[in-house]
Amino acid sequence: MREPVVHVIPAHGAVKAVALVLHGGQEVGRTATSARQLAVLRMIPFAWALTRAGADRGLAVWRARYRVRGWNGPDASPVTDITEVLAKLRRAHDVPVILVGHSMGGRTALRVAGDPNVVGVAALAPWVPEGEPVAQLAGRRVLLVHGSADRTTKPGETHAYARRAREVATEVQMVDIPGEGHGMLRQPRLWHRLTNEFALSLF
């Protein structure tokens, strides 16, 4: 794959903001992503929910797919990909950008939040291990959502990240969903509503 794949759902009329949706992945993996992977498919309903909620207000939705499946330690592979996508997005639409990421996509979204067009990040069941940086969140609004029954990423680490992020971000919301697992399957409407309301509040 020569560059990250991007699927665009246009706004109705002029683009006033863009939601960039980022899927999850795995800790280590050099194989190429595919459109059929569960982590990729999981974010399609979020993209369409954002479109239904915001297209009439000028929200376009971009859904990115990384070159490879893994984070890959210091390479932080998806960060490189999404930095490129954000530059491409800025050339197309110099408007506010809201990042929406699940799991590894949440970590990626938080890492690239220092991009000048980014105004907020919705990180859903994010993978935020101890030591994850927060300085790039200065001036941004952040929504962190985690299910209490998640056994893949750790709610406690998300709470710890929220505490550190509050020292620099404009606003940090931390929402716990009791009994929800990593797949966001028990209460999908709640996940969508929280994401949509957050995104639409930023432009």
pLDDT digits (tens, 9 = 90+) for 46-99: 999 999 999 999 999 999 999 999 999 999 999 999 999 999 999 999 999 999
CA distance readout (Å), 94 to 4, 56, 115, 117, 165? 20, 19, 12, 7, 26
Q: 3-state class of 157 per DSSP? A: helix
What pLDDT, on a 0 to 100 scale, did the predictor assign at position 115? 98
Q: 3-state class of 138 per DSSP? A: strand
Q: Is 103 exposed, middle or buried (0-12, 13-18, 19+ CB in 10 A)?
A: buried
Q: How many other β-carbons are positioned within 10 Å of the β-carbon of residue 72?
A: 16
Helical (H) or strand (E) element with 62: strand 59-65
Q: Is the pTM of this model over 0.75?
A: yes
**Residue 138 contacts residue 115 (beta carbons within 8 Å):** no
5-48 confidence digits (pLDDT tens): 999 999 999 999 999 999 999 999 999 999 999 999 999 999 99
Share the mean pLDDT of the chain: 97
CA distance readout (Å), 136 to 57, 70, 112, 170? 28, 22, 7, 11
What pLDDT, on a 0 to 100 scale, did the predictor assign at position 2? 77
Tell whether the model's pLDDT for residue 128 goes beyond 80.
yes
What pLDDT, on a 0 to 100 scale, did the predictor assign at position 1? 58
Reference 68, options 152, 5, 115, 7; nearest CA is: 5
**Torsion angle of the four alpha carbons 136, 95, 5, 47, in this order, in degrees rounded to the nearest 10:** 90
Two structure tokens written together for 199: 């995104």
CA distance readout (Å), 128 to 32, 81, 131, 154, 195? 23, 19, 8, 8, 19
Mean pLDDT for 153-176 is: 98
Reference 148, options 182, 172, 190, 103; nearest CA is: 182
Q: 3-state class of 121 per DSSP? A: strand
170-188 confidence digits (pLDDT tens): 999 999 999 999 999 999 9
